[in-house]
Each structure stands twice: as C-alpha cells, then as structure tokens.
Structure 1
Amino acid sequence: MTRPVTLITGASGGIGSALARQLAPTHDLILTGRGGAELDALCAEVGATPLTLDLIRPEAFAAALAGVGRVTNVVHNAGVVELGRVAEQGHEVWTHTLAVNTVAPAELTRLLLPRVREERGTVLFVNSGAGLRANPEWGSYAASKFALKALADALRDEEAGHGVRVSTVYPGRTATPMQQKVREQEGQGYDPAAFIDPATVAATIAFVLNAPRDAQLPDVSVRPGPR
C-alpha cells in the first residue's frame, strides 16, 4: 500500500517533533519550519523531507511548495503567543499573531487542497483551549485560535464533497517551549511534569489521522489527566 504523506508545520520542537516521531514508522513526512540545525537533525532522525517556510510571508508559500509532490495530510501545528491586556497590546502583536496562527494556515491549506483532495486526506488544526475560551491577557492569542476554529468548521463542510476530512485538536497546557515562554510571561515557574506530555498530544493527533475512513473526528479536546 502507498504510505500517506503528511506535512507538519512547526515541526522543530514540542508537539510537532513528537508527532513526527510518532508517525515516522507509517507515514512519509514533510517537516516545515524556519530551517536550522534542529529541523535538519529531526529530518535526519526520522527520514523526513525538510521544507523551509516563513509563516509571516504567505506570498512565498506557492514557490516553496512548487517542488512538493503528494500530500495526504496537513497538520497545522505552528503557532505563536504573546500575553498581554487588550489595553496594552499594540496592533503589531495582533497582526503578527493572526498572521502566523490564522492567515498562514488558511493560505497553506488553500495551496495544498488540490493535493489533499486527490488523496482524500485530512487537514488537521492544532488549536488550543484558548480557542474555546478567552481568559484575561489571552485576547490576541485566543482571537487567533477562535478564528482558526472558524476556518476549520467552514472548511469541513466545504470539502466534505471532495472526501477531505477536517479535524481540530484542542490541547490543554502541554510541556513545550511555548508553554515555558507562557509561564515566564505569567511570572510562574515551569515544571514540565505538571503539564501534558507532547507525545500524548501527538498520539491523539495520530489517532485522528489514522482513523478509518468511515469516521471523522471534528473536534477533540486533550486535557490533563488526574494526578
């Protein structure tokens, strides 16, 4: 059987790298990031193809994807966060956050849809608990993730006739470099053991991607288990 080809954004660390390791035995992988030693090392480890993408330059996506062949699944995992009150965050933060977290996934999806349709594949958005509830100082990030949910919901109905499945996974706080940054912004200590293991989220995403064709998992929340 032909192995699925899965493209993962933000693959250099955290959930992205955990997912690459989870899928490597059964998927051919295209791992995107800003380039560098971490991405190169991961690609060498799992036998993946690296693809450099600057998510704040969607106008460059088409050229970057020109040499890409089959794509079965697209996992939108990359994201940025900058905490702050609405009264204090300037438009630069909002523009950057929405560009990376919402506009880039929309444009990348648009460009890859013909390939995914041919494969009857899956587009999966890694969202956040902040995509379901906006807490104080999370306004810009939550807005981008609420918008990402809207993108996924619209796409799901639009692409059903093409055999494309669309899913959103909402992880709770996960032990990633992004979470470490968030804890610093909150003025709190960072203990990875207090959060969900990235491998757990990766296993959930793999389950969604590998689900039998007669099932679709539109929205899946991953929350910390009892301690």
Structure 2
Amino acid sequence: MKTALITGASRGIGRAIAEELGKDHHIIAGATSDASGIVDKLPSAEPFEVDLSDTDAIVAAARKIQDVDILIHAAGVLHKAPFGELDAQQWRETMDINVLAPVTLTRELLPALRRSRGLIITINSGAGFHGVEENTAYCASKFALRGFTDALRLEEKGQVRVTSIHPGRTDTDMLADPKHGDRPKMHPDNVARAVRLAVDAGPDAVVEFLRVAPA
C-alpha cells in the first residue's frame, strides 16, 4: 500500500482528498492539532500534527517520516480584506502557511519521494493566475506557489512527478463567511476526484496542471 501525506487533512479540500485516497492508500493526515477526527475514519492512517507556521516544527516532524509516495499540500489560509486593511501578521501567516510550509515540507521529504519515484501535488487556486479584489495576500501566495511548483517540476523531471491543481470556488469553511459572496461553489469531493486523476496517471505520466471549477 502506498503512503500519502496530506496537509490540511482535517477539513475542507484536504479532508475530501484524504477520504478519497484513503480507499487504497495509507494516509498521513496533516493537521495543526487533533487529527483523530479524520484518522479514525480511514482504513489505514496516522496523524501528522504540526503547526505549519513553525519551520522548525515542520522539519522535526518530517524527519520522522522514512517513506512516502505522495505529498499533497492542501493546507491554506485566506485573509479577505482590502490591501490597506491587511496587517503584517496576516501577510506573514499567509506566506508561512501557503508558501513556506510547502517549500519546507517538500525539501525535507524530497529524498524519500525520489526513492519512491513519487508525486507532489499542490492545491493552488484560480488566484494563482489572476488578481482577485480584496485578496492581495492570498493571490501573492498562490502566484508564488505556482512558480515554485512549475520550477520544481522541471528540476525533478524523471525523478518526482509534480502536479499543480487549481480549484475554483469550493464549498469549504474558508469561503463560508458572507463577505465572500454567494457565487456558485462546488463540493470538495470534486477537487478530490481531480487529485485522484493525477495520482492514477502515474508512474510513467504526469498531470502537470489541472483546473477544476464549478459548472
């Protein structure tokens, strides 16, 4: 059975991915705290509880993992407000969680992923391609994540497959606040199925980019 580490696995898109891949993978379920809510519901799973804003904690936790086949960066934060109302702490948290945590975790697990000729998937956003009003920090982080993913794909070609998935508006608690509007949203299971497509494409092919949006 292959092993998949999924950050943000306790809720939203990350949880949907864990439930989908948990059908035939051992899941290392990433959560800031108390991953038991998802771990207890999967056939084969273990917790990966770490504060993704703490680089040292990520490194320490990752170095306990010996083998992994799939790494999925699904954790993320969104502070919606006009640029002038976002403070330094909100910018720092956005970059720490959305960019630096994936970079750190990837760096630590890359040797294991190379050994398994594995797969890295980043859950990005449409905001990784175009600006969104009152989402300056989020857009900046997703543009950065896309740049990292695209460059890493080129560097690791032939060793580790790298996929960037860009969901449209998804019905998660991230967009639950009325200030995010009432435009159509899709269920997180749709994103999980897109991840499944990327996972099942290997090992001799890679889904480099996939955009999934509400119909």
Mark the CA change 1:137 to 1:213 in structure 2 (over 3 Å): closer, same or farther. same
Indicate the residue corresponding to 1:84 in structure 2: 81
Per-residue CA deviation, residues 121-146 of structure 1 (Å, 9 max, x unaligned), is 01100001111111211111000000
Provide TM-score, normalisation by structure 2. 0.95
1:42-98 deviation per Cα after TM superposition (whole angstroms, max 9, x unaligned): 101103110111011011222112322211110000000001222222222111101
Partner SS state of residue 169, structure 1: strand
SS of residue paired to 2:67: coil
Distance in 2, matches of 1:172 and 1:87, equals: 26
- Matching residue within 185, 189, 211 for 2:201: 211
Secondary structure of the corresponding residue to residue 224 of structure 1: coil
Alpha-carbon distance in 2 for matches of 1:120, 1:29: 18
Task: State the match for 2:192 in structure 1.
Answer: 202
1:105 and 2:102 equivalent? yes
Q: Is 22-31 or 88-97 further displaced after alignment?
A: 88-97
User: Secondary structure in 2 aligned to 1:67?
Assistant: coil
1:15 to 13, 16, 22: 13
Q: Partners in 1 of 2:62 and 2:140 — Cα distance?
A: 28
Match of 2:54 among 47, 54, 57: 57
Partner of 1:167: 163
Corresponding residue for 2:142? 145
Q: For the Cα contact (< 8 Å) 2:59–2:104, is it kept in 1?
A: no
Measured after TM superposition, the shift of residue 189 of structure 1 is: 5.5
Letter in 2 for 1:111: E
1:185 counterpart residue number: 179
Aligned residues: 214
C-alpha separation in 1, matches of 2:190 and 2:21:
13
How much has 1:215 moved relative to structure 2? Answer: 1.7
Q: Which moved more, 1:54-63 or 1:109-118?
A: 54-63
The separation in 1 between residues aligned to 2:57 and 2:140, in whole angstroms, is: 25
Distance (whole Å) between structure 1 residues aligned to residue 75 and residue 25 of structure 2: 20
Cα deviation per residue 1:85-120 (whole Å; 9 max; x = unaligned)?
A: 222222221111011100110001000000100000
> 1:121: which partner in 2?
118
- The answer to whether residue 155 in structure 2 is matched with residue 158 in structure 1 is yes
Segments ≥4 residues shifted beyond 2 Å: none
| Paired amino acid for 1:32 | G
RMSD across aligned positions (CA): 1.4
- Partners of 2:124 and 2:75 in 1: how far apart? 10
Residue among 2, 22, 25 paired with 1:24: 22
Task: Indicate conservation of the 8 Å contact 2:7/2:75, yes or no.
Answer: yes
8 Å CA contact 2:121, 2:164 repeated in 1: yes
Q: Which residue does 2:214 correspond to in 1?
A: 224
Matched residue, 1:71: 68
2: CA distance, partners of 1:212 / 1:102: 25
AA partner of residue 160 (structure 2) = V
